[in-house]
Amino acid sequence: MSKSPTVSELVSASSVLGQADAKRVKLLSGNGNKPLAEKISRLMGIALSECDVRRFSDGEVFVQINENIRGKDVFIIQSTNAPAENLIELLMLVDAATRASAKRITAVIPYFGYARADRKDRPRVSISAKLMANLITAAGSDRALAVDLHASQIQGFFDIPFDHLYGSMIFHQYFEETGPLDDYVVVSPDVGSIKISRAFASRLDLPLAIIDKRRTGPNEAQVMNVIGEVSGKNVIMIDDMIDTGGTITNAAHALRKAGARDIVACGTHAVLSGSALQRIEESPIGQLLVADTIDHSNTALPDKIKILTVAPLVAEAISRISNEESLSSLFGHFI
């Protein structure tokens, strides 16, 4: 197996992490994913700045930054998954930082919500991904950072510098550390995931198979065919998000029917809406690896779901941005 650098190796090989000046850099967080923000804070050795992010009795959001951030390099860590208040918190934190005379404001968005509507594919629909980009920019962000956009072209929706991190890096490290991958094949659960699956398979020196599916409606998909040899093989499926679980579980059933043995699925963003947990629990998937880009600390997840953290990856990216260092060396092996 050809061995590519892991997240830990890339981060530890860098002299950047931990050198960001705490007097110059400020980390802020709303309620969208406070546990991840706290992990990033600990890795960087920079305490989260004091913020008051709460609700009025009528449900409106109130934001106040309780530290002086004038002239500071401010990074606001906030996922924008549902409820919509998470997005409002991000926009209001950016606005508050702008009005507090921050030198530079970077919106750090581990999960960029509303990304699936990235084009006008039907009459009279909103291109919500572009709208979100406009709102974040208009609020006062100087740059943005996100993990595994649903479509890479969303980077072009922003009129400010945008850095895109690849969550597949943490899955690659996991499989590198778990041992030999004999008789494994990487499977793309749909055509949209072929690029990331092909790169993932190449890094692990594994063959690639593809699930051909046809979408029958919003959040609904029907598996049509398995392209590639999976009979008698162990399977690794990789996707950018697990929402209702329909795509990944339908693919797992098709793979098992085609003779696949152990099935491991990977999804960066664990949206897990609707009956996703039940579908996953009842599916042939033996283990589901997800990242902590969405907070599930208060959710009872099935034992087969394992959460890996993107905190080292995001912390390293923040440090490099703050120190005006290149990010390309961080993920150049993973695209």
39, 72, 130, 213: the catalytic one is 213
Backbone angles phi, psi at 239, to 5 degrees: -145, 165
**Contact predicate 188/159, CB 8 Å:** no
User: Is residue 66 predicted with pLDDT exceeding 70?
Assistant: yes
- pLDDT given for residue 15 in this prediction: 41
Three-state DSSP class for residue 83 = coil
Q: Is the pLDDT of residue 11 over 60?
A: no
**What pLDDT score does 152 carry?**
85
Provide mean pLDDT across the span 114-139: 93
Domain parsing of the chain, residue ranges: 7-166+312-334, 168-308
Q: What is the percent of the chain with per-residue pLDDT over 70, rounded to a whole number?
A: 89
Whole-angstrom CA distances from 275 to 27, 270, 280, 299 are: 35, 13, 9, 14
Of 40, 16, 310, 328, give the one whose Cα is nearest residue 173.
310
CATH number of 168-308: 3.40.50.2020
Q: Whole-angstrom Cα distance, residue 304 to residue 289?
A: 8
213 is catalytic: yes
- Give the per-residue pLDDT at 224: 67
Distance of CA 252 to the CA centre of its chain: 22
* pLDDT of residue 14 exceeding 50: no
Domains 7-166+312-334 and 168-308 fall in the same CATH topology: yes
Classified by CATH at the fold level, domain 7-166+312-334 comes out as: Rossmann fold (3.40.50)
| pLDDT for position 17 | 44
Task: Place 216 in a pLDDT band, splitting at 50, 70 and 90.
Answer: low
Q: How far apart are CA 327 and CA 316, in angstroms?
A: 9
Kindly report, residue by residue over 230-289, the tens digit of the pLDDT: 999 999 999 999 999 988 998 999 999 999 999 999 999 999 999 999 999 999 999 999
Residue with tokens 């959001």: 61
Helices assigned H by DSSP within the chain: 7-13, 34-44, 85-99, 128-139, 168-178, 194-204, 246-257, 276-282, 311-322, 328-331
